[in-house]
Amino acid sequence: MTGRKATVGGLVTANPVWVGSSELTMTLDGLITCIDAGAGAVVAKSVNESAAARRQLDIADYAFVSAGGRVRPAGAARRGDGLLNRSGLAQVDLDDWLALLAAGVEHGAARGCPVIGSITLGDPVAAARIAHAMAGAVPAVELNIGAPHGREASAVRQLTEADAVHDAVRVVRVAVDAPLFVKLPGQASDVVALARAARSAGADAVGLVGRYPGFLPDLDGGAVLGSWGAWGSPACLPMSLYWVAKARTALDVPLVGTNGARTATDVLRFLASGARAVEVVTALWIGGPAALAELVAGVDAYLDARDLDEFVGSALAGAREYKDIPPVRPPAWLPYTARWSRSSGR
């Protein structure tokens, strides 16, 4: 898919299938592996100013959960599993991290695959300082203000109010000349309002949406992972697409989709809903680099005879407001209520 470039917020990428920030992109070997597997862009593991956020990586843990509720270790995970996890930020000094990013950028440049730096918000002023330094090493910076772990640990923050989003993005924006992408949470009263606030504060693109807070009892008096965590799964896909589609309809801002894409069809649904690129992570946890290559090939094959720019947001032409939908005749609920009545003997 190297010939089908995707441009997002001024950043030209090899294709619209990106690798999101995670432990998989925390080392130079990890970045290179993603680049060589065909990623359109790679978002490096997040950093911030907090030593506590780095220490949080020491308690990182991962549980893969089947659609039927079976909990599996990483080595036994399957494509349709959800992921419940704890995580922290990269345990590295900023100067060393910038050198690693620069090496990744150099490797990706020959393949048209940008490496994007990532900051998970702690203190906005500190984030601005890191972003300014990072922009000297990478072609774009992602500011993650949607980290679900922000609800459990003060070392990172999750912002769910428009004013707070605007203020934080504005502080970072003035410090960065490179494209600035802002990743937002999915658990907020109005995600479109958050996207509007990020855009008005200077975001070049908006990522929708971060994973959700999660909790899963093990029914033996404890909890999976022994704590709360962050949750993502294929079942999150329609919720993520909802906010992508709503933001596409309401705003003039490039969108990056995330949370729920495991197959090429999932990626295409993000694009049809209005995203210009899609970040994937859990599919790679489960399937390795081959899964990334499969996604890229599948998306490329579908779009072979289509124009990417025209395909982005194409599903919205067939989506109407409730008030504009004529009555369904016969009523769609009729067979369900009839079956219920028969089964109850009435």
Global confidence as pTM: 0.94
Q: What is the gyration radius of the CA atoms in the chain, in angstroms? A: 20
Please report which confidence band the pLDDT of residue 346 belongs to, taking 50, 70 and 90 as the band edges: low
Write phi, then psi, for 119 (nearest 5 degrees). Answer: -125, 125
- Asked whether the beta carbons of 229 and 214 are under 8 A apart, the reply is yes
Q: How many CB atoms lie within 10 A of CB 12?
A: 13
At 29 the pLDDT is 98
Residue that is written with structure tokens 């772990």 in the block: 149
Question: Residue 69: which H helix or E strand, with range?
Answer: none
The per-residue pLDDT for range 309-344, each reduced to its tens digit, is 999 999 999 899 999 999 998 889 888 888 877 665
The per-residue pLDDT for range 125-172, each reduced to its tens digit, is 999 999 999 999 999 999 999 988 777 777 889 999 999 999 999 999
At 301 the pLDDT is 96
Query: Domain coordinates of the chain in residue numbers?
Result: 6-343
The pLDDT mean for the chain works out to 94
Q: What order do you get walking across the sheet with 229-232 strand by strand?
A: 71-72, 61-65, 82-86, 229-232, 212-214
Average pLDDT over residues 278-290: 95
Average pLDDT over residues 55-61: 93
Length of the chain: 346
Q: DSSP character for 92?
A: S
At 75 the pLDDT is 84
Percent of the chain predicted with pLDDT > 70 = 98
Q: What residues does 229 pair with on adjacent strands?
A: 214
The per-residue pLDDT for range 76-126, each reduced to its tens digit, is 899 899 999 999 999 999 999 999 999 999 999 999 999 999 999 999 999
- Asked whether the beta carbons of 283 and 291 are under 8 A apart, the reply is yes
The per-residue pLDDT for range 26-51, each reduced to its tens digit, is 999 999 999 999 999 999 999 999 99
Superfamily of domain 6-343: Aldolase class I (3.20.20.70)
At 2 the pLDDT is 43
Closest CA to 13 of 189, 128, 138: 138
Count of CA atoms in the C-beta half-sphere (13 A) of 175: 19
- Asked whether the beta carbons of 122 and 147 are under 8 A apart, the reply is no
User: Distance between CA 321 and CA 147 in Å, rounded?
Assistant: 31
